[in-house]
């Protein structure tokens, strides 16, 4: 007996001994670049110190706004999206729907630290960054990365972009609510962000990305805050998910009304507020461009809420509260790619169009093809951002964003990207590529996940509710 206790203690001691070694190794991977000074000569250290002193200066105002925007965008996921989606499902599926967003705050953050940020923003080729350059955030510290923003620490930029990576797959969850296995959802998300989101992020926003108009891209696609990267990619993928999973049991014969519109309205309000960080923060500074994007965001949301409510009033005889909230979200999603390139009147027009077009997408289009996109991710986010991307092709203004007048070069000659037929076609190429890429990749990944773990819960589990069958909990007591 004494020997068994001793052997057990010895194994535990070895684990305790190995744990700090593992931590040291992990820490070594994330050691700042100046740790290399340990073996440098005095002259080399002086040269590096002088270079650091003459390098880009941190603007505390820009950094403060970017960090505040980080918090605002994270708030869009929790509690914003959690409440918005949670209120729209039936009471037996509230917790499972909320968990779909909550878990991504931990899961995607971990992937972003490991290799996601590097795949998205490290130098690489036109389609993806080198996943090893910033592996474990090596070298991502207080010094700015001038390619993206010369006035804020790269670590602040990394955090801000991470919040986008979190909310994008969370949007997809609205299309698969009330019927997907939790383990299938987790596996699909890991694969999707790795195969779709990180590469697409690099293509549109990363150095040398194929569609990056400002940093050496081939086709100049304007996308200020995520029309392609966030909304079209997630919206089209959501539609594919809905088609592959099939309809919920009883849909559309049985009514599947939201169990708590009040929760959804609170979530919608938080989304509106958080979106100021989403779009305004994408200016990566606290200057005039951030103010312009902030204003465009607000007035587009206002216009879309009005046009959706008015359209529903004319079409059904009365406006619904949930309809006005849905219109607001549609206006925010639609103006996202355009927010840093258009004037306030143009943003208002984009919002008016968003409310009408998205309303018919979630009513007529959905009914016509009889797909079960549970929470209308495709009709609001994909259709909305496609509309915004294409309208931006005609409405982009160099007065709002002077950089688009001469930053992009073709054959060494500056090319203006202000609104016109040429830029409209560039935008259309970006929209089509994103839809085909995200949709095709999602279909393949869903089939793979289905083979590995199965996608749908059993019909008995679906009828009982995913809160109980997937998580062993209930949101409400009887």
Tens digits of residue pLDDT in 122-160: 999 999 999 999 999 999 999 999 999 999 999 999 999
Determine the pLDDT at residue 57: 86
Is the pLDDT at 17 greater than 60, yes or no?
no
Give the closest residue to 419 by CA, choosing from 126, 193, 220. Answer: 220
Determine the pLDDT at residue 327: 98
The 10s digit of each residue's pLDDT in 47-95 is: 555 555 555 689 999 999 999 999 999 999 999 999 999 999 999 999 9
pLDDT band at 477 (very low <50, low <70, confident <90, very high): confident
- CA 271/CA 75 separation, integer angstroms: 8
Determine the pLDDT at residue 56: 65
Determine the pLDDT at residue 277: 98
Determine the pLDDT at residue 319: 97
Determine the pLDDT at residue 5: 39
Determine the pLDDT at residue 384: 98
Is the pLDDT at 31 greater than 70, yes or no?
no
Is the pLDDT at 465 greater than 80, yes or no?
yes
Is the pLDDT at 35 greater than 60, yes or no?
no
Output DSSP code: residue 149.
B
Is the pLDDT at 43 greater than 90, yes or no?
no
pLDDT band at 44 (very low <50, low <70, confident <90, very high): low
Kindly state the percentage of the chain with pLDDT values over 70: 88
As a whole number, mean pLDDT of residues 249-273 equals: 96
Q: Range with the lowest mean pLDDT among 18-32, 133-147, 263-277, 404-418? A: 18-32
Determine the pLDDT at residue 42: 62
Q: Range with the lowest mean pLDDT among 31-40, 174-183, 400-409, 467-476? A: 31-40
As a whole number, mean pLDDT of residues 287-308 equals: 98
As a whole number, mean pLDDT of residues 88-108 equals: 98
Kindly state the percentage of the chain with pLDDT values over 90: 87
Determine the pLDDT at residue 41: 62
As a whole number, mean pLDDT of residues 159-187 equals: 98
As a whole number, mean pLDDT of residues 359-374 equals: 96
pLDDT band at 462 (very low <50, low <70, confident <90, very high): very high
Is the pLDDT at 109 greater than 50, yes or no?
yes
The 10s digit of each residue's pLDDT in 327-343 is: 999 999 999 999 999 99
Burial 341-363 (b: 16+ CB within 10 A, else e): bbbeebbbbbbbbbbbbbbebbb
């Amino acid at each position: 007996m004494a020997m068994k206790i001793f052997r057990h203690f010895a194994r535990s001691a070895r684990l305790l001994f190995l744990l700090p070694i593992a931590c040291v190794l992990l820490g070594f991977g994330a050691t700042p670049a100046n740790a290399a000074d340990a073996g440098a000569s005095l002259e080399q250290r002086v040269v590096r110190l002088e270079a650091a002193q003459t390098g880009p200066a941190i603007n505390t105002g820009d950094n403060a706004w970017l960090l505040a925007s980080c918090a605002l965008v994270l708030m869009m996921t929790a509690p914003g999206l959690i409440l918005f989606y949670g209120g729209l499902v039936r009471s037996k599926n509230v917790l499972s729907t909320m968990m779909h967003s909550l878990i991504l705050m931990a899961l995607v953050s971990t992937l972003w630290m490991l290799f996601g940020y590097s795949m998205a923003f490290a130098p690489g080729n036109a389609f993806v960054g080198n996943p090893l350059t910033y592996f474990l955030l090596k070298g991502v510290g207080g010094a700015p990365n001038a390619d993206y923003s010369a006035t804020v620490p790269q670590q602040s930029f990394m955090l801000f972009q991470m919040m986008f990576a979190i909310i994008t797959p969370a949007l997809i969850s609205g299309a698969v609510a009330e019927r997907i296995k939790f383990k299938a959802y987790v596996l699909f998300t890991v694969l999707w962000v790795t195969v779709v989101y990180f590469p697409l992020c690099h293509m549109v926003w990363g150095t040398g990305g194929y569609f990056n108009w400002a940093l050496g891209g081939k086709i100049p696609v304007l996308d200020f805050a995520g029309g392609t990267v966030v909304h079209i990619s997630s919206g089209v993928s959501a539609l594919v998910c809905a088609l592959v999973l099939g309809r919920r049991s009883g849909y559309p014969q049985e009514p599947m009304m939201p169990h708590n519109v009040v929760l959804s309205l609170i979530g919608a309000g938080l989304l509106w507020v958080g979106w100021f960080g989403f779009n305004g923060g994408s200016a990566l500074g606290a200057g005039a461009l951030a103010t312009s994007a902030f204003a465009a965001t607000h007035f587009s949301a206002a216009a879309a809420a009005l046009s959706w409510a008015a359209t529903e009033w004319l079409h059904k005889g009365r406006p619904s509260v949930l309809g006005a909230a849905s219109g607001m979200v549609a206006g925010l999603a639609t103006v996202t790619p355009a927010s840093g390139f258009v004037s306030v009147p143009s943003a208002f027009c984009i919002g008016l169009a968003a409310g009408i077009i998205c309303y018919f997408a979630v009513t007529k289009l959905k009914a016509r093809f009889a797909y079960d996109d549970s929470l209308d991710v495709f009709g609001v986010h994909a259709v909305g951002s496609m509309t915004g991307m294409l309208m931006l092709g005609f409405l982009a203004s160099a007065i709002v964003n002077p950089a688009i007048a001469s930053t992009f070069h073709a054959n060494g000659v500056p090319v203006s990207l202000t609104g016109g037929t040429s830029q409209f076609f560039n935008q259309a190429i970006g929209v089509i590529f994103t839809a085909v890429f995200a949709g095709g990749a999602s279909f393949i990944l869903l089939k793979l996940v289905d083979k590995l773990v199965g996608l749908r819960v059993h019909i008995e589990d679906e009828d009982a509710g995913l809160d109980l069958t997937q998580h062993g909990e209930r949101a409400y007591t009887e």
